[in-house]
Amino acid sequence: MPITVLFKFQYQAQFDAAGAEQELCSVFIGRCTEPLEIDPERDPGVALDRPQALQAELAGGAEKFTPWFKLEWARIWRDHRAALLALQQEL
């Protein structure tokens, strides 16, 4: 499956006097048959997980996720779950 855009969203957060963040983010879906190489210095918290395991962790109240990730994952799980789970069937 080629990588495709599921949707885009705008994220904005104010961090008191420390500053603010405003981003336009794209959410992609696709499948890679090659092993993924993750740079632990750039992305120290990256963990690869099955969608059902991630959903269970979020539903259990895990606090390690950012607020915007929780919101957007809910959207992915609600609107794109079938496509996400179909990727697993292709393995």
What are 37-46's pLDDT values in tens digits? 888 788 776 6
Beta bridge partners of 28: 5
> pTM for the full model?
0.72
> What average pLDDT is seen over the chain?
84
Instruction: Tell me whether residue 42 is in a domain.
Output: no
Instruction: Tell me whether residue 74 is in a domain.
Output: yes
Q: How confident is the model at residue 79 (pLDDT cuts 50, 70, 90)?
A: very high
Instruction: Tell me whether residue 67 is in a domain.
Output: yes
Based on the structure, what is the number of domains in the chain?
1
Instruction: Tell me whether residue 78 is in a domain.
Output: yes
Instruction: Tell me whether residue 38 is in a domain.
Output: no
Its domain, for residue 54, covers 4-29+48-89
Dihedral sign (CA 77, 39, 4, 21): positive
